[in-house]
């Protein structure tokens, strides 16, 4: 038996439509028969007896809700396709303990809009070629297995022609990028623009390659120059190492005259590394003459020397004096390496007695003595490259003083 997809069947009314079928309230077979018999003048008692004696009937193809079939088919179809007509033919009943119906479902499908295939992609632009026009129809066939339960019908569809809709393309809206159909003025304009862009990119790539080759040549030349420079530097370093090693050997030699000459040459020269090497060796030595040479060179090269002040344990008030006194600075205006005499200023802003005033100072071997208007600073070379001593100012407690030989 066949039924059109949009028809209404008496059998559906007799057996009752499933949920969502749109066939109205469910009516039992007995109620329907009673209504018919009453209309024909049959007594109600006879109608009830007929219903009680009638054998139970299995569901038929006509009882499968049409809307359920359509919904199941539409779920399997791509978006542009729609069902124009639907027919169902019964198949042999399956062997099952549940009430099931097998049927052959035939649907006429119509394409709702034009579809396209991707021809090529150029950046964000996708060129399309037409695949199918709107109105194209296809016959779609599937096997349906419907099961009726307490909640209504459940339909499983098995398409008999799975590749039927392959190669027909998609609507332009479902394809990626900015879609343009080949052969249209827009496509021709875009193609010309893309060709111009490609030519420009080619020219830019050629120019970029040329610049890259030039840069590579420059890098090669720079690498060669760097290698030559590194070799020259290596030789200079080796010569420098030999020079410093030679100086160290002279500074620690047994010949005192040679040692003093080496210290004088290094300390009096303009080579910072050699002078620093000689300074470290002189300050660490126990030879007061050599240390005096280093101190003279150090004082001669400085103009403003910070003096660090510390409180003494003997006088508790010295801590407050250190805090109030502020930073003390020894300013050197003149120094004579011959006799060790120096002139300048010494002072700190905290107290009037210690404010900056002219000084007279003397460096005798490793001891430095400086006298200002109201203060006296006496320092001696210590082991850790510092001049340590005391600051004595009138009306102020004695403070510990230190100058770091940087």
Query: Which range in 58-62, 146-150, 177-181, 358-362 is most confidently predicted, on average pLDDT?
Result: 358-362
Question: Could you read off the pLDDT of 293-331 as tens digits, one per residue?
Answer: 889 989 998 999 999 999 999 998 999 999 998 899 999
Instruction: Write down which residue in 297, 327, 345 finishes a domain.
Output: 297
* From 93-97, 142-146, 192-196, 202-206, the region with the lowest mean pLDDT: 93-97
Do 286 and 325 belong together in one domain? no
Do 68 and 131 belong together in one domain? yes
Do 360 and 245 belong together in one domain? no
Average pLDDT across the chain, whole number: 81
Do 74 and 122 belong together in one domain? yes
Report which secondary-structure segment, H or E, holds 236: helix 185-251
Domain membership flag for residue 203: no
Question: Could you read off the pLDDT of 345-364 as tens digits, one per residue?
Answer: 998 988 888 888 999 999 99
Domain membership flag for residue 192: no
CATH of the domain at 354: 2.40.128
Distance of CA 161 to the CA centre of its chain: 50
Residue with tokens 């003149």: 334
* Nearest by Cα to 108 from 90, 82, 134, 89: 82
Token duo for residue 110: 């119509």
* Nearest by Cα to 87 from 139, 135, 134: 139
d(CA 278, CA 286): 14
Do 343 and 392 belong together in one domain? yes
The reply to whether the predicted model has a pTM over 0.75 is no
Question: Could you read off the pLDDT of 50-67 as tens digits, one per residue?
Answer: 444 444 455 666 667 788
Do 274 and 345 belong together in one domain? no
Span 26-39, mean pLDDT?
Answer: 41
Residue 15 in this model has a pLDDT that exceeds 80: no
Domain membership flag for residue 145: yes
Domain membership flag for residue 351: yes
Do 108 and 165 belong together in one domain? yes
Better-predicted residue by pLDDT, 271 or 208: 208
Do 168 and 241 belong together in one domain? no
Percent of the chain with pLDDT over 70: 84
Do 388 and 336 belong together in one domain? yes
Do 123 and 33 belong together in one domain? yes
Instruction: Write down which residue in 254, 269, 297 finishes a domain.
Output: 297
Token duo for residue 263: 């210290």
Do 127 and 161 belong together in one domain? yes
pLDDT score, position 194: 86
Residue 337 in this model has a pLDDT that exceeds 60: yes
Domain membership flag for residue 207: no
Domain count, the chain: 3
Token duo for residue 367: 């001891």
Domain membership flag for residue 202: no
End-to-end CA distance of the chain: 113
pLDDT score, position 336: 93
Confidence band for 228, pLDDT divided at 50, 70 and 90: very high
Domain membership flag for residue 199: no
Q: Which domain holds residue 26?
A: 3-181
Confidence band for 263, pLDDT divided at 50, 70 and 90: confident
Report whether 396 contacts 372 (CB < 8 A).
no
Domain membership flag for residue 196: no
Do 248 and 370 belong together in one domain? no
């Amino acid at each position: 038996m066949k039924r059109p997809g949009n028809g209404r069947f008496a059998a559906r009314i007799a057996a009752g439509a499933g949920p969502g079928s749109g066939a109205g309230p469910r009516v039992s077979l007995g109620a329907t028969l009673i209504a018919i018999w009453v209309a024909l003048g049959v007594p109600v008692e006879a109608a009830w007896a007929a219903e009680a004696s009638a054998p139970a009937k299995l569901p038929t193809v006509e009882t499968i809700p049409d809307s359920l079939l359509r919904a199941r088919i539409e779920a399997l179809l791509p978006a542009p396709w729609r069902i124009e007509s639907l027919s169902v033919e019964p198949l042999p009943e399956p062997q099952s303990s549940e009430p099931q119906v097998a049927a052959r479902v035939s649907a006429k499908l119509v394409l709702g809009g034009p579809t396209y295939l991707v021809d090529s992609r150029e950046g964000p632009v996708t060129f399309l070629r037409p695949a199918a026009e709107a109105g194209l129809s296809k016959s779609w066939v599937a096997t349906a297995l419907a099961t009726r339960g307490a909640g209504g019908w459940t339909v499983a569809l098995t398409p008999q022609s799975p590749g039927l809709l392959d190669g027909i393309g998609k609507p332009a809206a479902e394809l990626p990028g900015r879609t343009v159909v080949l052969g249209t003025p827009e496509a021709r304009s875009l193609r010309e623009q893309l060709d111009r862009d490609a030519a420009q990119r080619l020219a830019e790539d050629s120019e970029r390659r040329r610049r890259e080759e030039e840069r590579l040549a420059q890098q090669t030349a720079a690498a060669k120059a760097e290698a030559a420079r590194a070799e020259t530097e290596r030789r200079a370093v080796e010569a420098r190492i030999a020079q410093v090693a030679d100086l160290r050997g002279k500074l620690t030699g047994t010949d005192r005259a040679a040692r003093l000459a080496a210290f004088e040459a290094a300390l009096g020269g303009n080579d910072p590394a050699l002078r620093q090497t000689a300074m470290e060796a002189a300050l660490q030595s126990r030879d007061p003459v050599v240390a005096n040479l280093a101190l003279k060179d150090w004082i001669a090269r400085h103009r403003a020397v910070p003096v660090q002040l510390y409180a003494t344990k003997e006088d508790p008030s010295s801590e407050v004096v250190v805090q109030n006194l502020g930073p003390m600075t020894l300013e050197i205006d003149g120094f004579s390496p011959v006799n060790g005499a120096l002139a300048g200023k010494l002072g700190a802003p905290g107290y009037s007695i210690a404010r900056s005033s002219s000084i007279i100072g003397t460096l005798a071997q490793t001891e430095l003595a400086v006298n200002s208007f109201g203060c006296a600073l006496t320092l001696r070379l210590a082991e850790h490259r510092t001049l340590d001593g005391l600051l004595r100012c009138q009306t102020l407690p004695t403070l510990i003083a230190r100058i770091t030989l940087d």
